[in-house]
Amino acid sequence: MIFDILTIFPSMFTSPLGESMVGKARERGLIEVRVHNIRDFASGRHQMTDDRPFGGGEGMVMKPEPIVGALRAIAANGPTAATILMTPQGRLFNQETARRLSRLPRLILICGRYEGVDERVADYFTDDQLSIGDYVLTGGELAAMVVVDAVARLLPGVLGNEGSALEDSFSEPVLEYPHYTRPRDFEGLSVPPVLLCGNHETIRRWRRTQALLRTRMRRPDLFERLELSPEDRELLEEGKN
């Protein structure tokens, strides 16, 4: 899969996209990440990518010409792409969106800055607008990194254990169960005995119970969307005791 990222701060991506899972996936040729400097497509001696807003107001707005110029220049280099603007005004990015995007051959991510991007870019040159949360960042670069990471880990071969992605939190609207590893006892805190019993069915039921209880307590909004099976209802009842 190919990720094209449009930004005015390309050096921000050097370390995050060169380390850990994403870095290894790039080395193995499982994904390709191309970072494009929007300034390279700006005209004039100063290569300005922003200007004052029409109608007045504080701050600056990213100009349409450099962004659209970048989009047109890279469009022919690779398969057809979905173009996404990272903006606080976008739809909330979630696991289902990550799964949908992971089925595409190529993504172009535009990193907004300042007061935002000229609305004509958003209206006529993008396929979608995404936000990673109800808060404002200084730019879309961190949000784009989140999208690349979340999407890349769903691609075949990227994770060492293909089953890991299936058990992640939000693979369904339920948080993941708690995890423990060695040592068995740490500063007087012990691993739950059920995880040491060796009975896989007992462990499975305990983990499902913990996941349901954790979701109900921490994310009641998700719990309300969950379609409880008869076993789920039984486990929740047992969890009261």
- Which residues belong to the active site? 88, 115, 153, 168
Cis? peptide before 183, omega within 30° of 0: yes
Cα-based angle 110, 111, 112 (whole degrees, multiple of 5): 110
Distances (CA, A) of 174 to 124, 149, 216: 36, 20, 9
* Strand intervals (E) in the chain: 2-7, 32-37, 50-51, 61-62, 82-92, 106-111, 128-131, 185-186, 189-190
Task: Name the one residue in this structure whose structure tokens are 């008869």.
Answer: 230
CA dihedral 168, 229, 94, 167 (to 10 degrees): 10
**What residues contact 53, with CB distance under 8 A and at least 6 apart?**
59, 60, 61, 115
Give me the count of residues in the chain: 241
Q: Give the strand order in the sheet containing 82-92.
A: 32-37, 2-7, 106-111, 82-92, 128-131
Going by C-alpha positions, the residue among 52, 70, 71 that lies closest to residue 61 is 52
DSSP element (H, E) containing 27: helix 20-27
